Chain A
Amino acid sequence: QVQLVQSGSELKKPGASVKVSCKASGYAFTTYAINWVRQAPGQGLEWMGWINTNTGVPRYAQDFTGRFVFSLDTSVSTAYLHITSLKAEDTAVYFCARTTMVESDYWGQGSLVTVSS
């Protein structure tokens, strides 16, 4: 069965970096893109962008350029989200999801990143 399993919660200080992983199984990894979605505490869903798992080419939403980097390791069917220069407002749950570039049919369980001094 299709599964996306994300790395665990992280507590980071402002200015630090964090890398969230998303390991896929149950399907051919390079046949679907991976979306990244942010959800701040008590807030709605915010699309961060996606990465084409066949070419490795990412696309970032307007508000997620510069400090946010998507990457892949196709040998282990894993996508990564790297956030640098963390700020308090980056505190959120980050989801990965398998996507056709429109709908996302399988989602990871979410990774909570807390930024606090």
Chain B
Amino acid sequence: ELVVTQSPGTLSLSPGERATLSCRTSQSVTGSYLTWYQQKPGQAPRLLIYDASRRATGVPDRFSGSGSGTDFTLTISRLEPEDFAVYYCQDHDRSRGLIFGPGTTVDIK
């Protein structure tokens, strides 16, 4: 059974710092179908990264995705005030469909 984990659970940083978020899947991701979303309180999720490393339309270039196989990373090069949010990774499994990770909260230190 496919399991998606994210670490850390919470990341406390200051504006201007670099954020590195990890996503691990229990099975190798099919075709790098690894997606990242950002969600702010009271809002719908926003697509950030798809196919592990492709930025969605309108996403600033301070956001980047990398990784392959079972280990993936979302990096925010310099945190802006609007980047403090919860980040979810999502994998695609042929038998189970879409699986979200539990999320990483990036909050202000």
Contacts and interface: CB of A to CB of B under 8 A. Distances in A.
B100 A103 contact: no
B44 A107 contact: yes
A95 B98 contact: no
Interface string A57-71: 001011000000000
Kindly state the interface size class of chain A when it binds its partner: 20 to 34
A28 interface: no
In terms of DSSP, what is the predominant structure of the interface of chain B?
A: strand
A7 interface: no
A116 B56 CA distance: 39
A103 B47 contact: yes
Given A44-B88, A44-B102, A45-B88, A105 B47 contact: yes
B96 A110 contact: no
A51 to B, nearest CB: 12
A102 B96 contact: no
Given A105-B47, A108-B44, A47 B97 contact: yes
A108 B98 CA distance: 18
A67 to B, nearest CB: 18
A59 B96 CA distance: 10
B87 to A, nearest CB: 11
B11 interface: no
A62 B96 contact: yes
B35 A102 contact: yes
Nearest to A98: B47
Interface of B: 33, 35, 37, 39, 44-47, 50-51, 56-57, 88, 90, 92, 96-103
> What 3 pairs between A and B have smallest CB-CB spacing?
A107-B44, A103-B50, A47-B98
